Structure formats: structure tokens, C-alpha cells
């Protein structure tokens, strides 16, 4: 069993890079495999989740290699996967497994998808239901969990799907299937989830558009069988990984850091907007665009925070950041209220439960309901006592969030099962210690 411990450090400082964005990395590989020709990818996140997607594509016959620091995907064109009896182990990756199902549903191919203990508990009906309507066949359609066997169709039916949840994984899996349909595919979602699939498809030449409907939901239309151009893709840094050193600096006195080239897509900025509403000193500079995605350098300083109520409309744009926001909330004056967050129960762990459990262990009061959580802030001078052991429960973001809690702990906070951090941020330990954190292998 692997563990790390973390405790108080004097201050955090420096200019750093964090690894490439996980969502965009999965998409660059999967969409790259659908291009006719070679797609070169710079700054691909080489984490366990993304490598699982890469290996799955290789198993399916896609040639992928690395030349110096650039990954090259030799795409086979749309709908061109063949064969059966593939076994694709997606490890811990919800995004990889669900997007891959979308890819498989649009090809004449049969494969079984499996995952680790955490992924095998996560809901898959949300993907099976729409993809079945395109003609994909699942061995056991009433099964909600991996392992799942899927047989795709060479020419999937065009689908109009109204998604009950704002989920980029559901939306993207349907759009990926829709690429090989002869008709148009439409996905409607209640609020707009991250749009990296749409942006990448547009960048590569697909006909895809997004409009807001009179009832304020969002409609994404994709024209099937686009000719995707083999353009180079550079992956910006991951705002969800940047969130850890940013929050660590905001809660550690005398800290000041800058993170370079971060993806600042508005649909990923919920945490940053919430921290600014709480009074955090965060600024954006050097704004520019990188293959269809907005990027910037983000600076953050130690700040006095106040508790806020997170607007429900912001939840989708910070869906992965509630664990680290909860750590910031401890240092706030007053309560921080998070509502409409039931989706957190379906992540790598039930995150509402895992956050509350960890915070209670260090003496922080939380109120937890089915779809909400309230954290009582203790104010800027408060330090937890520490001397606790937190289980990651195979959830990388729970592990990293509680290691950041160590910044405001008198004694070590130990997190067990920390290998899971490699899912998204393999250099977390080195980067945090480089800016002055006090992490140790325990």
C-alpha cells in the first residue's frame, strides 16, 4: 500500500507548469484515431487514465507512437474499427471508458470494457441507454456496471437525445457515435457541460454547432461523416490539476504562485470564479488561444476568504473541483454551501460522502444531504490538528485535496492509497514540493 503525508509549510512560491489537460488528452487520442492521416499531439497528459485510452486504441488496431516529445496517432478514418473479442481495460477512467463506448458504437466492432474496483461501481446505463438507440448492442442492457460487452454498428442511426444530466461524458459518447452516422446527431443538455469534444471537432473541420433553447437548455448539433483534417494538437495545462497548487497557495500565508498555459475554457472555470467570489486573489494574464481552446497564465496569492453559496448554474463547470473547494472552505469566514451536486456521488468515489468523512475526521463540521453539502468555515487563523489517516478510496482528487489540507495542519495528514494520483497528475508530489509544500512518502 502506498501513502503520502503532508503538513504545514512556511509559504508556497514559484512559476510552474502542471501537466496537460486530462479531458482534452483523451479526446485528442480518440478523435485523432478518426482522422484520416497523422495527428501530432504535443503535451499529452501521460497519466494512467490517458494511457489506458491510448492502450485501448492500440489494441483496437490504431498505430500510435512517440517521437521525441510528440505523440503521433495514425488515424484510420471514421467508422473503420473492425474485429471482435477485444478486452479493453480502462483502469480508473470514467471518461476513457464512456468515450470509448461512443467510439465503438459507431464501428463494426465488438469489445468488452472493464475497469478497476472504483470504475466497476460507476453508472454506465446513462451511456448504454442513448447508444442502444443508435443501433449498438450491449450484451446485458440492464447492466449498469462494467464489465460490459458492446457491439457497434457500421452505420449508426442518427439520434436526438435529451440528456437528464449535464455530462460531457454522455454528450461526447453520443457525438463520437454520431460521427459515423449518415444523418445529424443532436444532444440536448440542461446546462452546458465542458465542450472540448465540440471544440476539437470544429477545429478539425466538423460541422458542429451549439445553441441555447428558449427553456435555457443547450442543443448541440453534429452533421455526420465529416472529413476530419489531420491537424496538430497541443494540449493546454489542466485547470483541474492547477486547482491543487492554486488552493494550497491561497490558504498558506505569504504564498504567491503562477501557473503557465492553463486551459481557461469558461466551462471549466467554476472553481476559479467561486474562489474569486470568496475573496481570493487570483488573476489571469497572457490570454490567448491554442487549437480552439482559450488559455492563460493564472496567478494566485494567499487570501482571506469568506464563505459563499455556490450558484447551481456553476456546478457543471467545477464538477471535479468540489473536493479542493471544500479544503478552501475550511479557511473561510462563514459557511460555504454547495447545492445541486448529486452528480458527485457518481464520481471515482461518492465525493459528498468522502469529503464529509475526511473533514469530520479533522474536526470540521459539515452538513450533508443527498444533493448538497454545507461546510462550516473556521476563519483565516485556523489550523487543523492533523494526525489523521484519510483513505483515497481510489479517488485521485480526494487524495490530492486532503494532501493540500496538510498545508493548514499542525501535524501530518496521511493519505493512503495515493498511487491513484497517477490517474490525472503523476507529477503532483514533485510539483507541490517544488513550490514549497511539505509532502513525504509515508
**Contact pattern for ligand S3P over residues 22 through 51, marking x by CB under 6 A:** -x----------------------------
- Evaluate whether 321 touches 268 at the Cβ level (below 8 Å): no
Q: Which of 173, 181, 193, 241 binds ligand S3P (CB under 6 A)?
A: 193
Contacts of ligand S3P in 313-332 (CB under 6 A)? 319-320
Nearer to ligand S3P, 190 or 279 (CB): 190
Q: Which of 321, 343, 395, 417 binds ligand S3P (CB under 6 A)?
A: 343
Q: By rule CB under 6 A, what count of residues binds ligand S3P?
A: 11
Residue written as cell 509549510?
9
Piece of 59-67, 166-174, 281-289, 375-383 that binds ligand S3P (CB under 6 A): 166-174
- Evaluate whether 384 touches 404 at the Cβ level (below 8 Å): no
Query: Count of CB atoms within 10 A of residue 142's CB?
Result: 7
Q: How far is CA 408 from CA 88, 248, 384, 385, 405, in A?
A: 41, 9, 6, 9, 6
Piece of 105-113, 129-137, 153-161, 167-175 that binds ligand S3P (CB under 6 A): 167-175
Residue nearest to ligand S3P according to CB distances in the complex = 23
CA–CA distance, 392 with 348 (Å, rounded to integer): 10
Piece of 36-44, 57-65, 131-139, 164-172 that binds ligand S3P (CB under 6 A): 164-172
Alpha carbon distance, N-terminus to C-terminus of the chain: 10
**Conformation bin of residue 422: beta by default, left when phi > 0, alpha when psi is -120 to 50:** alpha
CA–CA distance, 68 with 295 (Å, rounded to integer): 24
Q: Which residues belong to the active site?
A: 320
**Residue 49 beta carbon to ligand S3P: minimum distance, rounded to whole angstroms:** 9
Nearer to ligand S3P, 37 or 190 (CB): 190
Contacts of ligand S3P in 92-111 (CB under 6 A)? 95
CA–CA distance, 263 with 284 (Å, rounded to integer): 11
Nearer to ligand S3P, 9 or 169 (CB): 169
Is position 169 an interface residue for ligand S3P (rule: CB under 6 A)? yes
137, containing H or E segment: strand 137-138
CA–CA distance, 105 with 415 (Å, rounded to integer): 39
Nearer to ligand S3P, 97 or 193 (CB): 193
Q: For residue 179, give the 3-state DSSP assignment.
A: coil
Contacts with ligand S3P, residue ranges (CB under 6 A): 23, 95, 167-169, 172, 193-194, 319-320, 343
Amino acid at each position: 500500500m502506498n501513502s503520502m503525508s503532508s503538513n504545514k509549510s512556511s509559504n508556497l512560491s514559484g512559476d510552474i507548469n502542471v501537466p496537460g489537460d486530462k479531458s482534452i488528452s483523451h479526446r485528442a487520442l480518440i478523435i485523432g484515431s478518426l482522422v484520416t492521416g497523422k495527428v501530432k499531439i504535443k503535451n499529452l497528459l501521460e497519466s494512467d487514465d490517458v494511457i489506458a485510452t491510448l492502450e485501448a486504441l492500440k489494441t483496437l488496431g490504431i498505430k500510435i507512437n512517440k517521437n521525441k516529445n510528440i505523440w503521433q496517432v495514425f488515424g484510420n478514418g471514421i467508422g473503420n474499427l473492425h474485429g471482435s473479442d477485444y478486452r479493453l481495460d480502462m483502469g480508473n477512467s470514467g471518461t476513457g471508458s464512456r468515450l470509448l463506448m461512443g467510439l465503438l458504437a459507431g464501428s463494426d466492432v465488438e469489445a468488452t470494457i472493464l475497469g478497476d474496483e472504483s470504475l466497476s461501481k460507476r453508472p454506465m446505463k446513462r451511456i448504454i441507454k442513448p447508444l442502444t438507440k443508435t443501433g449498438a448492442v450491449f450484451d446485458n442492457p440492464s447492466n449498469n456496471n462494467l464489465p460490459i460487452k458492446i457491439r457497434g454498428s457500421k452505420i449508426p442511426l442518427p439520434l436526438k437525445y435529451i440528456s437528464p444530466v449535464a455530462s460531457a461524458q454522455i454528450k461526447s459518447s453520443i457525438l463520437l457515435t454520431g460521427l459515423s452516422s449518415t444523418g445529424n446527431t443532436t444532444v440536448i443538455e440542461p446546462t452546458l457541460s465542458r465542450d472540448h469534444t465540440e471544440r476539437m471537432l470544429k477545429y478539425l473541420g466538423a460541422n458542429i454547432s451549439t445553441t441555447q433553447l428558449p427553456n435555457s437548455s443547450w442543443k448541440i448539433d453534429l452533421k455526420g461523416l465529416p472529413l476530419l483534417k489531420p491537424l496538430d494538437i497541443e494540449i493546454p495545462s489542466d485547470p483541474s490539476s492547477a486547482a491543487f497548487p492554486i488552493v494550497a497557495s491561497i490558504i498558506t500565508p505569504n504564498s504567491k504562485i503562477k501557473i503557465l498555459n492553463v486551459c481557461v475554457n469558461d466551462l471549466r472555470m467554476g472553481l476559479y470564479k467561486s474562489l474569486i467570489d470568496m475573496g481570493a486573489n487570483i488573476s489571469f494574464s497572457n490570454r490567448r488561444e491554442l487549437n480552439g481552446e482559450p488559455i492563460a497564465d493564472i496567478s494566485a496569492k494567499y487570501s482571506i476568504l469568506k464563505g459563499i453559496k455556490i450558484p447551481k448554474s456553476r456546478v457543471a463547470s467545477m464538477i471535479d473541483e468540489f473536493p479542493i473547494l471544500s479544503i478552501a472552505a475550511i479557511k473561510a469566514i462563514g459557511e460555504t454551501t454547495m447545492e445541486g451536486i448529486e452528480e458527485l456521488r457518481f464520481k471515482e468515489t461518492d465525493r459528498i460522502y468522502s469529503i464529509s468523512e475526511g473533514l469530520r475526521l479533522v474536526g470540521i463540521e459539515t452538513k450533508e444531504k443527498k444533493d448538497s453539502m454545507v461546510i462550516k468555515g473556521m476563519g483565516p487563523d485556523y489550523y487543523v490538528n492533523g494526525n489523521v489517516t484519510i483513505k483515497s478510496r481510489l479517488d485521485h482528487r480526494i487524495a490530492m485535496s486532503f494532501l493540500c489540507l496538510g498545508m493548514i495542519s499542525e501535524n501530518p495528514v496521511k493519505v493512503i492509497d495515493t498511487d491513484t494520483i497517477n490517474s490525472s497528475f503523476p507529477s503532483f508530489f514533485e510539483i507541490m514540493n517544488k513550490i514549497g509544500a511539505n509532502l513525504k512518502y509515508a
